[in-house]
């Protein structure tokens, strides 16, 4: 690391599995230092056994999310100067997911729920004679565009109160993805999305706390998507389509 200020950060990092504990480290403070830089410094210079996950370092891959001073964040784009409190950081794994070790969570339940919410494309029957025409100004296309840039980081899932309360709830990311899939007019079974998200564990459990929208690092609004699913499932239910 290049030389910066001489101040040292006091960093507490979660070690072990769910029954683990915080360990304290002292990390040199730099200008323009991200939380991921801090974790990497600890792993490279202080404790090589520290387990954490990252890949792109530029806010694209969504793999470095952790709980920083109590809030879920993407650590590669979170500057220490913005989140440190009196020169201290407390870094823990994401909440609402099983902890494998240290800062690494098991994302399996998170992605299983994407499948459960039918957040994937289902093609229509047979080959098309022409390519689907989807004008950018189309209502469905605009709704899908607003929801589609999710980086799958799990921050919203970790921030959601309802996920914390009932573990079967599909959660904001999967439902946001389902809303994008539902608004894909090329999809061969859009009602199938509504059937999936209207299950007992589905979209109607959302309390509209908006923690997902508050914490989403790429400023998506899953609460808005879930509200759209609530309206769509209600209409479909009244028409007897579900």
The residues of the shown chain that bind other proteins, judged by CB under 8 A, are: 162, 165-166, 198-200, 202, 204-205, 230, 233-234, 236-238, 242
- Characterize 207-227 residue by residue with b for buried, 16 or more Cβ atoms within 10 angstroms of its Cβ, and e for exposed: eeeebbbebbbeebbbbbbbe
Q: What contacts 102, CB < 8 A, 6 or more positions away? A: 13, 14, 15, 16, 20, 50, 51, 52, 93
Q: Which pair of structure tokens corresponds to residue 195?
A: 């059937």
Least CB distance from residue 215 to other proteins, whole Å? 20
| Comparison of 24 and 237: residue with beta carbon closer to other proteins | 237
| Comparison of 3 and 18: residue with beta carbon closer to other proteins | 18
Least CB distance from residue 200 to other proteins, whole Å? 6
| Comparison of 33 and 198: residue with beta carbon closer to other proteins | 198
Least CB distance from residue 208 to other proteins, whole Å? 12
Question: Of 166, 239, 170, which is closest to residue 202 (Cα–Cα)?
Answer: 170
CB 214 within 8 A of CB 156: no
Least CB distance from residue 209 to other proteins, whole Å? 12
Q: Which pair of structure tokens corresponds to residue 54?
A: 């990252």
Q: What angle do CA 80, 85, 88 make, to 5 degrees?
A: 75
CB 90 within 8 A of CB 12: yes
| Comparison of 121 and 165: residue with beta carbon closer to other proteins | 165
Sign of the Cα torsion 232, 234, 238, 241 reads positive
| Comparison of 108 and 237: residue with beta carbon closer to other proteins | 237
Least CB distance from residue 167 to other proteins, whole Å? 10
| Comparison of 13 and 163: residue with beta carbon closer to other proteins | 163
Least CB distance from residue 197 to other proteins, whole Å? 10
């Amino acid at each position: 690391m290049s030389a910066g200020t001489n101040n040292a950060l006091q960093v507490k990092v979660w070690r072990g599995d769910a029954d683990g504990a915080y360990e304290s480290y002292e990390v040199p403070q730099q200008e323009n230092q991200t939380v991921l830089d801090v974790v990497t410094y600890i792993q490279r210079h202080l404790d090589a056994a520290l387990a954490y996950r990252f890949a792109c370092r530029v806010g694209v891959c969504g793999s470095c999310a952790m709980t920083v001073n109590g809030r879920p964040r993407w650590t590669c784009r979170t500057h220490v100067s913005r989140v440190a409190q009196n020169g201290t950081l407390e870094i823990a794994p994401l909440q609402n997911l099983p902890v494998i070790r240290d800062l690494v969570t098991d994302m399996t339940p998170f992605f299983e729920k994407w499948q459960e919410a039918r957040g994937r494309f289902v093609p229509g029957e047979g080959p098309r004679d022409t390519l689907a025409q989807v004008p950018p100004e189309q209502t469905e296309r605009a709704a899908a565009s607003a929801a589609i840039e999710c980086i799958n980081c799990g921050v919203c899932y970790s921030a959601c109160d309802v996920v914390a309360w009932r573990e079967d709830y599909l959660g904001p990311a999967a439902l946001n993805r389902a809303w994008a899939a539902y608004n894909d007019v090329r999809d061969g079974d859009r009602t199938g999305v509504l059937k999936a998200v209207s299950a007992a564990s589905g979209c109607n459990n959302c309390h509209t706390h908006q923690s997902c929208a508050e914490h989403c690092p790429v400023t998506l609004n899953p609460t808005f998507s879930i509200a759209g699913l609530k309206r769509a499932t209600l209409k479909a239910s009244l028409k007897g389509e579900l």
